[in-house]
Amino acid sequence: MAQDFVFSASGMGGGGFRKEPPDGGGVDKRVLFKDKVIGNKKPMVHIADSIFEGLCAPWEVALVVKLLGKSIGYNVMKGRLTRLWRLTVGFDIMDIGNNFYMVKFDTGMDKTKVMEEGPWMIFDHYLTV
């Protein structure tokens, strides 16, 4: 059921009666500039399919990996994976949060080697792909 709300900038002048606003009124609610400009809408970017495909292409040979049972830093993870996998060309690694890493291989052959042959053990903990 909707409540009626009457707001007067001049206060109670003229003997009028004012109801409290439905949100509790009197509470200092700051409005962000972003909210004023875009409101409740989510910003959207529209791009052509061909451009989107071009942006996705470098990540087609990527995997998301996570070390189970232990949290280690970026440099330690990259060093261990480099020694463990011994790839023919190499890979790039990106920390994507929550102990997950995005691994982008320089070649599809290296990705296949890792997926099919492993090894998967680091620090007596297991890596999941």
- How many domains does one find in the chain? 1
For 15-48, the pLDDT digits (tens) are 555 555 555 555 556 777 777 777 777 777 888 9
Domain assignment present for residue 55? The answer is no
Q: Specify the pLDDT at position 28.
A: 58
Host domain of residue 106: 62-128
Domain assignment present for residue 8? The answer is no
Share of the chain above pLDDT 90, in %: 8
Domain assignment present for residue 116? The answer is yes
Q: Specify the pLDDT at position 37.
A: 75
Domain assignment present for residue 11? The answer is no
Domain assignment present for residue 91? The answer is yes
Alpha-carbon span 83 to 120, nearest angstrom = 12
Q: Specify the pLDDT at position 24.
A: 56
3-state secondary structure of 88: coil
How much is the pTM?
0.52
- Quickly state the pLDDT bin for 108 (edges 50, 70, 90): confident
Domain assignment present for residue 67? The answer is yes
Q: Specify the pLDDT at position 21.
A: 57
Quick one: which of 91, 73, 72 has its CA closest to 83? Answer: 91
Please, are residues 99 and 128 in contact by the beta-carbon 8 Å criterion? no
For 39-93, the pLDDT digits (tens) are 777 777 888 999 999 988 877 778 888 877 778 888 988 998 898 888 888 899 9
- Domain of residue 88, CATH code: 3.30.70
DSSP code, position 12: T
Alpha-carbon span 16 to 110, nearest angstrom = 78
Domain assignment present for residue 82? The answer is yes
Beta strands per DSSP E along 23-80: 62-67
Domain assignment present for residue 10? The answer is no
